[in-house]
Structure 1
Amino acid sequence: MSKPPGPPEAPPPAAEETGTGLLRIAFVLVLGTFMATLDATIVNVGIDTLAREFDATVGDIQWVGTAYLLAVVTAVPASGWLADRFGGRRVWLAAVALFLAGSALCALSWSAPSLIVFRVVQGLGGGLLPPTGQALLARIAGPSRIGKVISVVAVVPLLSPVLGPVAGGALLAAASWQWLFLVNLPIGALALLLARRYVPVVAPAAKGVPFDVRGALLLSPGLAALVYGLTEAAEGRRLPAVLGIGAGALMLAAFVTHGLRTRGTALIDPRLFARPPFGPAALALLVLGASVFGTAFLLPLYLQTGEGLSAWQAGLVLAPQGVGAAAGAVLVNRTVNAVPPRTLVVTGVGLVLAGTVPFTQLDHGLPDAVLIASLAVRGFGMAMISAPLMNIVYSRMDSAHVARASGALNLLNTVGGSLGTAALAVVLQSRLDARHQDATAAFSDTFWWVVGLGLLAAAGTTRLPRTHAVRSST
């Protein structure tokens, strides 16, 4: 049998993929992001089912979600170096294969500990997919076209918190718990087949750069310890929380010191955050992650505990946010090259704030129509933030640094979501105690903190550039 021809080398910027070809590549790469981000929320719906299946406590089985999250946080920082060393396409294909292997192993789990271990394997692959896919797409598209295609990719993480509960509830209603993981296999297999055919090879940007071992030993464990500590704080376990947060903060401080002093290439260069527009964009994405995933944690919990809805019903109530995000992505795709990115971002943050404020009035009997409209406005606004922010960064950055910048941005968004969820869980518990277990009032109080996060993001967007990047003629 003759060997099929390999994928083409990525063309130089003057002959970049255009039109249908570029959108096809974006669709293929977004399949990996969709699979990884959806899985992060879809399994949460089945926590009670998994606890019964493995005869474990809910506290123990929560590690199914926590282990995945910690693995993602561990993998993301290394994505930039891996793409630079081995090539983005090769790393992306390996990440999909690793994620599929982890998914299959999860479905074969025989106990809670085995499931937790296999979720780590799955999370390592899932953590590499979004940053590697974004960096690869940015290099293939080039600065002049990244704005349009990134709007397609950026909407996926906004949809997953909405689609996850619906998909998880539907799977558990129709099939066994194993399908929470087996559902990934056909999506991943399709992504692998299409990527091998359509995604071009992009030459590694910095093949000879050594891996920052010291940085990796400080950054990934430091982030994992910090997320673990906040998770324990949300559960009310004080000593593990203090130890985790303290150890995480120390390791992250040591990483920053190392990154500033090293003569080599740091895993993530701390100096990036002092350079506009990267610093303000990073702050906005960090807070956006906290707001999106924090709300995705609070609202379903309120609907299920306060309103008595099932996970499936709660997911349907959240659907308008996904509709709004899709509509916002269409608008961004059509206007991103005509409207200054900062205008889109500032407008988006304003819409997210406008859509969040009504949730602070849950204890005053929020009408269903207002809830639905607020969710749609929030979704529309979120779509106007992430894609233009990435466009601002990628269009102003040398292609050799795109992979590491993508890793840093995705890391901040992931960490923002993790820390935001954990912090809001702590706030919610404190408000429940203060409100004498009046759930509706406690949720209303907690949403004021989400509004505060939005105001912090708004402050960061004021430092974004007002105009588009100047395109080089070379």
Structure 2
Amino acid sequence: MTQLADGRLDTALRRLIAVVLLGGTMGIIDGTIVAVGVDTLAEEFDTSLSAISWVSTGYLLALTVAIPITGWAVGRFGAKRLWIFGLALFLLASLASALAWNVASLIVFRVVQGLGAGILDPLLLMILAQAAGPARAGRVMGLMGIVLSSGPVLGLIVGGIVLDALSWQWMFFINLPLGLVALAGAQRVLPADDLGDRSELPKLDVVGVALLGPGFALLVLAMSQAAEHAAFSIWQVLVPVAAGVVVLAGYGVHALRGKRVPPVIDLHLFANPKFAATVSIMALIGMGTFASLFILPLYYQQLHNLGALAAGLLLAPYGIGTAVAMPIAGRLSDRLGPRNLARIGAAVSLLGVLTLTQIGEGTSLVWPVVGAVVFGVALSFVGAPTMGALYRTLPPHLVPQGSSVLYILNQLGAAIGIAVITLILQTSGSSEAGFHGAYWFVFGTVVLILGAGWLLPGRPEPLPDQLTQG
């Protein structure tokens, strides 16, 4: 696979990007598609909203547990084989979810679906980064950013359309034709795995996996329970938080001992301030983005009395704006570096959030749409360069671990953001005050992103091939 001298991506790489993004998009869409169908599923299975919430929580927990193993598994089995396995597992679980006969079976099948997504999500970053190389990491991560930013929005829109015209089963059936195309494409365009001497491959850090995945899953569970009960100081939240902290502390002790088996995630990575800044910013982006996506549909439904489909469609300009901005931001970061772009993007994003802190019942629908677009487009100039920076700050053999860390923290940030927003909305004196408070929380999150942006890498050094091209 080659890349053209004028900087364009060659045909083979374009095909690979298209196939991999198609497969990866499904897992990200499925993270939010069920959100608009909670009431429908509760009525269909004659159960409570609390029970139905596990359809989403189980998916997220399984995804979180699977991510740390992927970094090791890609070295053991190869990226192509692992990608095809994860995609096949996701499709089979989608079919099973559509055929679920009660809420317990649906939750079980969604857990399996989350395991498949937990393989695909970090592997998506690894495949694209390794195919693009450091010189074009920003550009390809910009394309990846389209999926990360617009995927959740698309999930809300697709969920609304499906429930408006079809039965709930089609929230899962819709994955099948797309997945089969992605599966066939992966067989053709993904490069064959070259595992070399298998005797040299590292052993799986079984103890680390047994501690790290469940530790993060416990924290995600705690945040989900906080969102469900609209409180933090209850045993349903405090017990998993305490357990998660203890388990993760145990992993820290285990990882720093320097045993012969390499840890599933090397904590020495965080000694690199640029890497620490990169993954921290992506955690904050997950927190702010998912918090905003949680607030806006509720705002449209509660203060403007709109339906789920209309609320989803009003988010479409946000999704379109980020989809256009992400590739541009990625391309610019390859030339200018992520630091300046991220700082400018965060500063402009604050203006969009500031607009959203002022919306109310009598506000024209134009203003929340404009505010959301400014917020999303500007934050794209943070997200794409930041993801590209990850692959410039790590040597190639640490990219799988770095991808795992990035995805885990991004998911954890999303769970924390939703939990905090839910608490603010349910403890405020009125709906309007709750929305204002929620967006001030998002504003504070973006301020932290602006501060952390100073630690990102500056303008990239020209690579030898770029120097020879003049």
Cα distance change on mapping 1:91 and 1:11 into 2, 3 Å: farther
Pick aligned residue for 2:203 from 205, 210, 215:
210
Q: 2:129 aligned with 1:133, yes or no? A: no
Cα distance change, pair 469–366 in 1 and its aligned pair in 2 (3 A):
farther
Which stretch shifts more, 112-121 or 344-353? 344-353
What's the TM-score once normalised by structure 2's chain length? 0.93
5 Å-filtered alignment, 1:314-463, equals 314-363=311-360, 365-430=362-427, 432=428, 435=429, 438-463=430-455
1:23 and 1:149 in contact (8 A); partners too: no
- What is the identity, as a one-letter code, of the residue corresponding to 2:117? G
Q: Does 1:223 align with 2:216?
A: yes
What RMSD over aligned residues (CA atoms) do the two structures have, in Å? Answer: 2.2
Q: How far, CA to CA, are the matches of 1:204 and 1:294 in structure 2?
A: 41
Distance 2:71 2:360 in 1: 46
Q: How many residues align?
A: 459
Displacement after TM superposition at 1:364 (Å): 7.8
Distance 1:256 1:331 in 2: 39
How far residue 125 of structure 1 moved from its aligned partner, in angstroms, is: 0.3
Match in the other structure for 1:199: 190
Displacement of 1:13 in angstroms is 13
Greater alpha carbon shift after TM alignment, 150-159 vs 91-100: 150-159
Post-superposition shift, 1:419? Answer: 1.9
Distance in 1 (CA, whole Å) between partners of 2:278 and 2:402 is 11
* In structure 2, C-alpha distance between the alignment counterparts of 1:376 and 1:362, rounded to whole Å: 14
Q: Name which of structure 1's ranges 19-28 and 287-296 shifts more when overlaid on structure 2.
A: 19-28
Distance (Å, rounded) in 1 between the aligned partners of 2:125 and 2:141: 8
Question: How much has 1:416 moved relative to structure 2?
Answer: 1.1
For 1:13 and 1:239, the matched residues in 2 are separated by 58
**Cα shift at 1:45:** 1.0
In 2, Cα distance between equivalents of 1:363 and 1:291: 20
1:232 pairs with 2:225: yes
Aligned to 2:143: 152
Q: CA deviation at 1:99?
A: 0.3
Asked whether the 8 Å contact 1:88–1:133 carries over to 2, the reply is no
Matches of 2:82 and 2:3 in 1, distance apart? 21
**Superposition deviation, residue 70 in structure 1:** 0.6
For residue 111 of structure 2, what is the aligned residue in structure 1?
120
Residue by residue over 1:205-262, the C-alpha shift from the partner in whole angstroms, topping out at 9 and shown as x without a partner, is: 9861111111111111111111112222223372211111111111122222222223
Residue 33 in 1 paired to residue 30 in 2? no
Structure 2 match to 1:49: 40
Any gaps of 5 or more consecutive residues in structure 1?
A: 1-9
1:260 matches 2:256: yes
Structure 1 residues 330-378: Cα deviation after superposition (integer angstroms, max 9, x where no partner): 4224423222221221122223222111221124844332222111112
- 1:290 maps to what in 2? 287
Deviations 1:12-53 (A, max 9, x none): 999x99422212111111112210001111111111111111
Distance 1:347 1:374 in 2: 17
Query: What letter is aligned with 1:220?
Result: G
Residue 23 of structure 1, aligned match among 14, 17, 40: 14
Q: 1:186 to 1:210 in 2, by over 3 A?
A: same
- Larger deviation, residues 157-166 vs 58-67: 157-166
The alignment partner of 2:334 has SS state of coil
Q: CA deviation at 1:204?
A: 4.2
**Structure 2 residue 164 is the aligned partner of structure 1 residue 167:** no
Matched residues in 1 for 2:59 and 2:158: separation?
19
CA distance in 1, matches of 2:216, 2:331: 37
> Which whole-Å deviations, capped at 9, do the CAs of 1:264-312 have from their partners, x for residues lacking one?
3211112212203111111100000000111111111222223221111
3-state SS in 1 of match to 2:252? helix
Distance 2:21 2:417 in 1: 25
Question: Matched residues in 2 for 1:94 and 1:441: separation?
Answer: 47
Cα separation, 1, equivalents of 2:461 and 2:22: 29
Equivalence for 2:97: 106
Structure 1, 178-187 or 18-27: larger mean CA deviation: 18-27
What are the Cα deviations for residues 83-106 of structure 1, in whole angstroms up to 9, with x where unaligned?
121111111111100000110110
Amino acid at match of 2:456: L
Q: How high is the TM-score relative to the length of structure 1?
A: 0.92
Q: 1:306 to 1:253 in 2, by over 3 A?
A: farther
Provide the rounded CA distance (Å) in 2 between the counterparts of 1:182 and 1:420.
30
Could you tell me which of 229, 234, 249 is aligned with 2:245? 249
Identity %: 37
Evaluate the alpha carbon distance shift between residue 227 and residue 357 of structure 1 in structure 2; reply closer, same or farther with a 3 A threshold.
Answer: same
Cα distance between partner residues in 2 of 1:183 and 1:311: 19
Question: Would the alpha carbon gap of residues 92 and 372 (structure 1) be closer, same or farther in structure 2, given more than 3 Å must change?
Answer: same
| Alpha-carbon contact 2:138-2:331 (below 8 Å) kept | no
Shift, 1:170, TM fit: 0.8
Instruction: Give me the whole-angstrom Cα distance separating, in 2, the residues matched to 1:13 and 1:202.
Output: 24
Give secondary structure in 1 for the equivalent of 2:421. Answer: helix
**C-alpha distance in structure 2 between counterparts of 1:271 and 1:194, whole Å:** 37
What CA distance in whole angstroms lies between the structure 1 residues aligned with 2:109 and 2:431?
35
